[in-house]
Amino acid sequence: MNEKDEPIGFEEKIKAHEDGGHLHRAFSVVVFNKDGKSLLQLRSVKKHHFGGLWTNTVCSHPRKGEDVSAAAHRRLKEEFGFDIPLKERYSFIYKAADPQSGLTEWEYDHVFTGTYDGTPQPDAKEIDDWKWESPSDILRELEKNPGGYTFWSKLIFKKLFADAKAIDSHQHAGKSETKR
Protein backbone atom coordinates (compact mmCIF):
# COMPACT_ATOMS: atom_id res chain seq x y z
CA MET A 1 0.00 0.00 0.00
CA ASN A 2 1.27 3.47 -0.72
CA GLU A 3 0.13 6.80 0.73
CA LYS A 4 -2.51 7.10 -2.03
CA ASP A 5 -4.15 3.82 -0.92
CA GLU A 6 -2.87 2.04 -4.01
CA PRO A 7 -1.81 -1.61 -3.64
CA ILE A 8 1.87 -2.20 -4.37
CA GLY A 9 2.18 -5.76 -3.10
CA PHE A 10 1.04 -8.28 -0.51
CA GLU A 11 2.56 -9.14 2.86
CA GLU A 12 1.61 -11.65 5.53
CA LYS A 13 -0.07 -10.03 8.55
CA ILE A 14 2.71 -10.45 11.12
CA LYS A 15 5.47 -9.52 8.64
CA ALA A 16 3.60 -6.31 7.82
CA HIS A 17 3.93 -5.35 11.51
CA GLU A 18 7.59 -6.35 12.07
CA ASP A 19 10.75 -4.24 11.76
CA GLY A 20 9.00 -0.90 12.21
CA GLY A 21 6.01 -1.97 10.14
CA HIS A 22 5.11 -1.55 6.48
CA LEU A 23 2.29 0.71 5.33
CA HIS A 24 -0.78 -1.46 4.73
CA ARG A 25 -4.54 -1.18 4.36
CA ALA A 26 -6.79 -1.54 7.40
CA PHE A 27 -10.27 -0.61 8.55
CA SER A 28 -11.97 0.46 11.75
CA VAL A 29 -15.70 0.17 12.44
CA VAL A 30 -17.56 2.28 14.99
CA VAL A 31 -21.08 1.05 15.76
CA PHE A 32 -23.65 3.25 17.52
CA ASN A 33 -26.96 2.34 19.11
CA LYS A 34 -30.18 4.38 18.93
CA ASP A 35 -29.06 6.32 22.03
CA GLY A 36 -25.86 7.43 20.29
CA LYS A 37 -23.61 5.23 22.42
CA SER A 38 -20.70 3.50 20.76
CA LEU A 39 -19.96 -0.21 21.04
CA LEU A 40 -16.41 -0.68 22.36
CA GLN A 41 -14.42 -3.87 22.73
CA LEU A 42 -11.61 -4.85 25.06
CA ARG A 43 -9.14 -6.60 22.80
CA SER A 44 -8.23 -10.08 23.96
CA VAL A 45 -4.95 -10.22 25.88
CA LYS A 46 -4.10 -13.10 23.50
CA LYS A 47 -3.92 -10.75 20.47
CA HIS A 48 -0.53 -10.52 18.73
CA HIS A 49 -0.32 -6.82 19.48
CA PHE A 50 -2.17 -4.16 21.47
CA GLY A 51 -3.96 -6.86 23.51
CA GLY A 52 -5.85 -5.92 26.65
CA LEU A 53 -6.73 -2.41 25.39
CA TRP A 54 -10.12 -0.86 24.73
CA THR A 55 -10.78 0.03 21.10
CA ASN A 56 -13.53 0.83 18.61
CA THR A 57 -16.08 -1.84 17.71
CA VAL A 58 -13.97 -3.71 15.15
CA CYS A 59 -10.60 -3.15 13.51
CA SER A 60 -8.67 -5.42 11.17
CA HIS A 61 -7.23 -5.86 7.67
CA PRO A 62 -8.73 -7.00 4.39
CA ARG A 63 -7.52 -10.30 2.99
CA LYS A 64 -5.62 -10.42 -0.29
CA GLY A 65 -8.03 -9.29 -3.04
CA GLU A 66 -10.83 -8.48 -0.55
CA ASP A 67 -12.64 -5.14 -0.76
CA VAL A 68 -12.20 -3.03 2.40
CA SER A 69 -15.96 -2.68 2.90
CA ALA A 70 -16.50 -6.44 2.50
CA ALA A 71 -13.72 -7.05 5.03
CA ALA A 72 -15.37 -4.68 7.52
CA HIS A 73 -18.65 -6.60 7.23
CA ARG A 74 -16.85 -9.95 7.52
CA ARG A 75 -15.01 -8.98 10.72
CA LEU A 76 -18.11 -7.43 12.30
CA LYS A 77 -19.88 -10.79 11.85
CA GLU A 78 -16.84 -12.77 13.03
CA GLU A 79 -16.13 -10.67 16.11
CA PHE A 80 -19.61 -9.56 17.26
CA GLY A 81 -22.01 -11.90 15.47
CA PHE A 82 -24.03 -9.34 13.51
CA ASP A 83 -23.88 -7.36 10.28
CA ILE A 84 -25.38 -3.94 9.51
CA PRO A 85 -25.20 -1.34 6.75
CA LEU A 86 -21.92 0.57 7.06
CA LYS A 87 -20.92 3.95 5.70
CA GLU A 88 -17.29 4.88 5.09
CA ARG A 89 -16.63 8.23 6.81
CA TYR A 90 -12.97 9.00 6.10
CA SER A 91 -9.50 7.46 6.01
CA PHE A 92 -6.17 8.38 7.56
CA ILE A 93 -2.63 7.10 7.99
CA TYR A 94 -1.08 6.45 11.39
CA LYS A 95 1.92 4.63 12.83
CA ALA A 96 2.07 3.18 16.34
CA ALA A 97 4.52 0.78 18.00
CA ASP A 98 3.38 -1.75 20.60
CA PRO A 99 6.08 -1.95 23.29
CA GLN A 100 4.69 -5.26 24.62
CA SER A 101 4.98 -7.21 21.35
CA GLY A 102 7.56 -5.16 19.44
CA LEU A 103 5.16 -4.98 16.49
CA THR A 104 4.20 -1.76 14.71
CA GLU A 105 0.93 -0.68 13.12
CA TRP A 106 1.52 1.54 10.08
CA GLU A 107 -1.85 1.69 8.47
CA TYR A 108 -3.97 3.38 5.87
CA ASP A 109 -7.13 3.08 7.95
CA HIS A 110 -10.65 3.31 6.45
CA VAL A 111 -13.22 4.32 9.10
CA PHE A 112 -16.79 3.00 8.83
CA THR A 113 -19.85 3.69 11.01
CA GLY A 114 -23.21 2.02 11.42
CA THR A 115 -26.13 1.58 13.82
CA TYR A 116 -27.19 -1.54 15.76
CA ASP A 117 -29.69 -1.99 18.58
CA GLY A 118 -29.51 -5.72 19.18
CA THR A 119 -27.42 -7.75 21.58
CA PRO A 120 -23.89 -8.45 20.33
CA GLN A 121 -22.59 -12.02 20.48
CA PRO A 122 -18.83 -11.45 20.90
CA ASP A 123 -16.25 -14.08 20.00
CA ALA A 124 -14.43 -14.80 23.28
CA LYS A 125 -11.21 -15.57 21.36
CA GLU A 126 -11.17 -12.00 20.02
CA ILE A 127 -12.91 -9.93 22.71
CA ASP A 128 -12.36 -10.03 26.50
CA ASP A 129 -15.17 -7.54 27.28
CA TRP A 130 -17.45 -4.99 25.61
CA LYS A 131 -19.62 -2.03 26.51
CA TRP A 132 -21.81 0.73 25.12
CA GLU A 133 -20.49 4.17 26.03
CA SER A 134 -21.48 7.75 25.18
CA PRO A 135 -19.13 9.93 23.13
CA SER A 136 -18.61 12.35 26.01
CA ASP A 137 -17.79 9.49 28.42
CA ILE A 138 -15.33 8.04 25.90
CA LEU A 139 -13.59 11.40 25.49
CA ARG A 140 -13.40 11.85 29.28
CA GLU A 141 -11.92 8.37 29.66
CA LEU A 142 -9.36 9.06 26.92
CA GLU A 143 -8.18 12.07 28.93
CA LYS A 144 -8.14 10.16 32.22
CA ASN A 145 -6.73 6.83 30.98
CA PRO A 146 -5.13 7.24 27.52
CA GLY A 147 -2.95 4.15 28.01
CA GLY A 148 -6.05 1.97 28.26
CA TYR A 149 -7.01 2.52 24.59
CA THR A 150 -5.47 1.60 21.25
CA PHE A 151 -3.60 4.40 19.50
CA TRP A 152 -5.86 4.40 16.44
CA SER A 153 -9.10 4.40 18.44
CA LYS A 154 -8.02 7.57 20.25
CA LEU A 155 -7.56 9.31 16.89
CA ILE A 156 -10.87 7.99 15.56
CA PHE A 157 -12.89 8.93 18.65
CA LYS A 158 -11.44 12.43 18.81
CA LYS A 159 -12.32 13.05 15.16
CA LEU A 160 -15.79 11.45 15.26
CA PHE A 161 -16.69 13.00 18.62
CA ALA A 162 -15.19 16.46 18.10
CA ASP A 163 -18.32 18.04 19.50
CA ALA A 164 -19.43 15.46 22.08
CA LYS A 165 -21.49 18.01 24.02
CA ALA A 166 -23.63 18.67 20.96
CA ILE A 167 -23.91 14.93 20.33
CA ASP A 168 -24.98 14.23 23.90
CA SER A 169 -27.44 17.12 24.06
CA HIS A 170 -30.01 15.18 22.03
CA GLN A 171 -29.39 11.75 23.60
CA HIS A 172 -30.54 10.00 26.70
CA ALA A 173 -28.35 10.58 29.73
CA GLY A 174 -26.94 7.54 31.42
CA LYS A 175 -23.88 5.62 32.44
CA SER A 176 -22.06 3.12 30.26
CA GLU A 177 -23.30 -0.44 30.32
CA THR A 178 -20.64 -3.11 30.70
CA LYS A 179 -21.49 -6.64 29.57
CA ARG A 180 -19.55 -9.85 30.03
Q: How far apart are CA 140 and CA 145, in angstroms?
A: 9
Q: Identify the active-site residue in 18, 66, 105, 107.
A: 107
The torsion angles phi and psi of 148, rounded to 5 degrees, stand at: -90, 0
DSSP labels for 3-20? TTS-------HHHHHSTT
pLDDT value at residue 169: 45
Q: Identify the active-site residue in 3, 11, 12, 59.
A: 59
Indicate if the alpha-carbon torsion angle 92, 78, 50, 133 is positive or negative.
positive
Q: Residue ranges of the chain with pLDDT lower than 50?
A: 15, 165-180
Say if strands 104-115 and 24-32 run parallel, antiparallel, or are unpaired. parallel
Told to judge if 6 belongs to the known catalytic residues of this protein, a careful annotator would answer: no
Which residues are bridge partners to 121 per DSSP? none
Q: Please, are residues 68 and 25 in contact by the beta-carbon 8 Å criterion?
A: yes
Global pTM reads: 0.83
Told to judge if 59 belongs to the known catalytic residues of this protein, a careful annotator would answer: yes
Mind listing the domains of the chain with CATH numbers? 13-116+123-165 (3.90.79.10)
Q: How many CB atoms lie within 10 A of CB 139?
A: 20
pLDDT value at residue 96: 83
